[in-house]
């Protein structure tokens, strides 16, 4: 069973004779300083919220009937994710991992359609792609 079947545009059937190639990707690389700064910012915000809560003593949050606590937490986390998603493209990227995965996958797909005489070259290509990952 094939892991990936290559389809050509305008065709509904998989084409066994079509070779695959890795696609270009874009992005940046993650930095340890950004991760450390993120944890520091989260810790600072947490301490700030504790200080504000202690100073103003707001009333406890009352969850309306029919709405579960999990639903509220889920909605808040989804909102935060939507807000942070554009920002993460500047700091965290999977460009090299995606390129390596695409190259390895393309080599594996090309290996499936290889004839016996092409097999050593295709295995070398697959080994190079796997070594990079």
Q: Which of 119, 102, 103, 99 has its CA nearest to residue 111?
A: 119
User: What three-state secondary structure class fits 122?
Assistant: helix
Q: What is the pLDDT of residue 18?
A: 52
Q: What is the pLDDT of residue 47?
A: 96
**Contact criterion met (CB below 8 Å) for 102 and 80:** no
Q: What is the pLDDT of residue 16?
A: 53
**What does the alpha-carbon distance between residue 22 and residue 132 come to, in Å, rounded to a whole number?**
14
User: What three-state secondary structure class fits 17?
Assistant: coil
1 falls in which pLDDT band (50, 70, 90)? very low
Partners of 14 in the β-ladder: 7
Q: What is the pLDDT of residue 9?
A: 55
pLDDT digits (tens, 9 = 90+) for 20-59: 555 555 555 557 887 788 889 899 999 999 999 999 998 8
Q: HEC states along 75-90? A: HHHHHHHHHHHHHHHH
- 102 versus 79: the higher-pLDDT residue is 79
**What does the alpha-carbon distance between residue 46 and residue 125 come to, in Å, rounded to a whole number?**
50
φ/ψ (deg, to 5) at 89? -65, -20
**Contact criterion met (CB below 8 Å) for 75 and 68:** no
User: Among 6-10, 66-70, 76-80, 107-111, whose mean pLDDT is lowest?
Assistant: 6-10
Q: What is the pLDDT of residue 27?
A: 55
pLDDT digits (tens, 9 = 90+) for 47-101: 999 999 999 998 888 878 888 888 889 999 999 988 887 777 776 667 777 777 7
């Amino acid at each position: 069973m094939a892991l990936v079947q290559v389809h050509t545009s305008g065709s509904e059937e998989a084409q066994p004779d079509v070779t695959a190639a890795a696609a270009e990707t874009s992005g940046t690389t993650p930095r340890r300083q950004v991760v450390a700064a993120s944890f520091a910012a989260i810790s600072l915000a947490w301490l700030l919220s504790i200080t504000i809560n202690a100073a103003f003593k707001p009333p406890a949050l009352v969850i309306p009937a029919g709405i579960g606590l999990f639903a509220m937490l889920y909605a808040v986390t989804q909102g935060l994710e939507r807000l942070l998603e554009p920002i993460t493209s500047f700091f965290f990227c999977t460009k090299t991992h995606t390129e390596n995965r695409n190259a390895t996958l393309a080599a594996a797909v090309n290996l499936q359609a290889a004839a016996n005489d092409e097999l050593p070259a295709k295995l070398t290509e697959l080994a190079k792609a796997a070594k990079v990952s």
